[in-house]
């Protein structure tokens, strides 16, 4: 037994002595362990998060209606995500998000590096990311305060924009001391939904002002703009003004009111070159974990497809009427079982476009988030 113990001590002493000799030859104090690259740990352990959204809907549309969706009438996992996030060093953060869509193929939704200590207080995000655009673009489906993204936005930018490129953010100096923040991005030409091969870029920008409101509340307002190749086969410009006011009546009774518009200026569509849509949403957090909300969603139909570029348009535009407006009214009730799990019931009445019939849909939703990377709103 003593002999085996002595052998073990010898085996441990040899690498320890070798390491001490290397430290002395490098001029380092004894006992100091340094990583392979100064400032970077040898073990890279990112934080992981998993999030998802389950829904069940019942619509009044008959099966013969082209808007009827059989899959929507069944319980389904609409959206799932796996997120990995970690600081790489004191100057750079990184995130990788894998999207698991219903019935689709898993894909990388975000993969970016964020440099947050550049000169002048500038932050720079590089890679694939959700750009700053309006109030909701950076918000995933399961984080929304309503069942779906308002049609005023979704009819034109789908489930939000996704950019591959670079985005810089910084605070704008001004003589009035206003809290002004700017975000500027340049990304690939398919950011706005264009599917044709192009070497053109899409440019996005947001200017936002925020301040305290009535002492304990907050006010956030701004305007976003994007210009680039269009899914209609030409260029388009999107403008998105928004306003959100939050007012805590008491610490456990909080009102949040949001209004956001989207103005689409597109080319080569004749009378449908310009479209305007707007939604407003009022949320009342009337108890610790209970919310009541009401969405009014007003949208002009994007317009039927031209034939100049057949086969190049996303599904969201297929078969849309030439003209018309539609209004959706959606009351909902949300119960947070915990900070990371939530149940919601929502009823939506949608007025018809042209010869369509009105649609009335009752929905149940359950959302979950594991980890602290994707908080529910």
* Model pLDDT for residues 279-331, shown as the tens digit of each residue: 999 999 999 899 999 999 999 876 544 333 333 334 344 444 445 788 999 99
- In this structure, the answer to whether residues 118 and 22 fall within a common structural domain is no
Length reported for the chain: 377
Which pLDDT does position 134 carry in this prediction?
A: 96
User: Which range scores top for mean pLDDT: 36-45, 85-94, 290-299?
Assistant: 290-299
- In this structure, the answer to whether residues 197 and 345 fall within a common structural domain is yes
- Tokens coding 219: 């006010």
Instruction: Report whether 260 contacts 137 (CB < 8 A).
Output: no
In 189-216 the beta strands, taken as DSSP E runs, fall at 201-213
- In this structure, the answer to whether residues 6 and 71 fall within a common structural domain is no
Mean pLDDT, range 195-219, rounded to an integer:
90
- In this structure, the answer to whether residues 10 and 56 fall within a common structural domain is no
Instruction: Report whether 187 contacts 202 (CB < 8 A).
Output: yes
- In this structure, the answer to whether residues 128 and 9 fall within a common structural domain is no
pLDDT in tens, 31-40: 444 344 455 4
- In this structure, the answer to whether residues 173 and 297 fall within a common structural domain is yes
Residue 377 inside a domain? The answer is no
Which pLDDT does position 233 carry in this prediction?
A: 62
Residue 337 inside a domain? The answer is yes
Q: Look up tokens 């929905």; give the residue.
A: 363
Residue 376 inside a domain? The answer is no
Residue 196 inside a domain? The answer is yes
**Which CATH number does the domain housing residue 200 bear?**
2.40.160.10
What region, left, alpha or beta, does residue 26 occupy, with left being phi > 0 and alpha being psi -120 to 50 degrees? Answer: alpha
Residue 26 inside a domain? The answer is yes
Residue 375 inside a domain? The answer is no
Domain of residue 26, residue span: 1-34
Domain count, the chain: 2
Can you say whether the dihedral through the CA atoms of 159, 160, 165, 167 is positive or negative? negative
- Tokens coding 374: 């994707």
- Which has more pLDDT, 41 or 343? 343
Residue 280 inside a domain? The answer is yes
Select from 265, 355, 278, 368 the least CA-distant residue to 65.
Answer: 355
CA distances from 209 to 106, 169, 377 (A): 37, 13, 21
Cα–Cα dist 288/252, whole Å:
6
pTM, to two decimals: 0.81
Statement: residue 241 has pLDDT above 70: yes
Mean pLDDT, range 225-239, rounded to an integer:
87
Cα–Cα dist 18/243, whole Å:
64
Select from 237, 242, 215, 211 the least CA-distant residue to 225.
Answer: 237
Mean pLDDT, range 165-184, rounded to an integer:
95
Statement: residue 94 has pLDDT above 50: yes
Which pLDDT does position 289 carry in this prediction?
A: 93
- Which has more pLDDT, 75 or 269? 75
First to last CA, the chain: 63
Statement: residue 347 has pLDDT above 60: yes
Instruction: Report whether 238 contacts 264 (CB < 8 A).
Output: yes
Which pLDDT does position 372 carry in this prediction?
A: 61
Helices within 98-180 (DSSP H only): 151-157
């Amino acid at each position: 037994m003593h002999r085996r113990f002595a052998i073990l001590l010898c085996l441990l002493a040899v690498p320890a002595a070798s390491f001490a000799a290397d430290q002395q030859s490098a001029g380092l104090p004894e006992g100091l362990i340094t990583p392979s690259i100064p400032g970077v740990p040898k073990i890279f352990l990112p934080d992981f998060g998993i999030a998802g959204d389950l829904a069940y809907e019942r619509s009044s549309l008959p099966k013969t209606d082209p808007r009827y969706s059989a899959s929507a009438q069944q319980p389904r996992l609409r959206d799932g995500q796996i997120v990995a996030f970690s600081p790489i060093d004191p100057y750079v953060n990184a995130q990788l998000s894998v999207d698991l869509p219903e019935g689709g193929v898993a894909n990388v939704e975000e993969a970016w590096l964020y440099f947050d200590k550049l000169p002048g207080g500038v932050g720079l995000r590089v890679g694939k990311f959700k750009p700053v655009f309006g109030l909701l673009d950076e918000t995933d489906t399961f984080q929304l305060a309503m069942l779906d993204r308002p049609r005023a936005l979704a009819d034109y930018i789908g489930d939000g924009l996704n950019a591959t490129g670079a985005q810089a953010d910084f605070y704008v100096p001004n003589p009035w001391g206003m809290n002004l923040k700017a975000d500027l991005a340049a990304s690939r030409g398919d950011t706005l939904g264009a599917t044709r091969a192009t070497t053109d870029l899409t440019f996005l920008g947001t200017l936002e002002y925020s301040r305290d409101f009535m002492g304990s509340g907050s006010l956030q307002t701004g305007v976003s703009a994007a210009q680039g190749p269009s899914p209609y086969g030409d260029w388009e410009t999107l403008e998105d003004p928004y306003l959100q006011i939050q007012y805590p009546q008491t610490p456990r009774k909080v009102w949040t009111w949001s209004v956001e518009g989207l103005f689409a200026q597109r080319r080569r569509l004749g009378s449908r070159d310009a479209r305007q849509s707007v939604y407003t949403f009022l949320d009342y957090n009337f108890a610790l974990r209970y919310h009541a909300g009401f969405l009014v969603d007003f949208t002009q139909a994007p317009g039927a497809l031209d034939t100049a570029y057949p086969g190049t348009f996303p599904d969201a535009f297929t078969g849309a009427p030439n003209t018309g407006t539609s209004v959706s009214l959606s009351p909902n009730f949300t119960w947070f079982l915990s900070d990371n799990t939530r149940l919601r019931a929502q009823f939506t009445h949608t007025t018809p476009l042209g010869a369509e019939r009105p649609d009335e849909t009752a929905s149940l939703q359950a959302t979950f988030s594991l980890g602290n990377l994707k908080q529910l709103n």
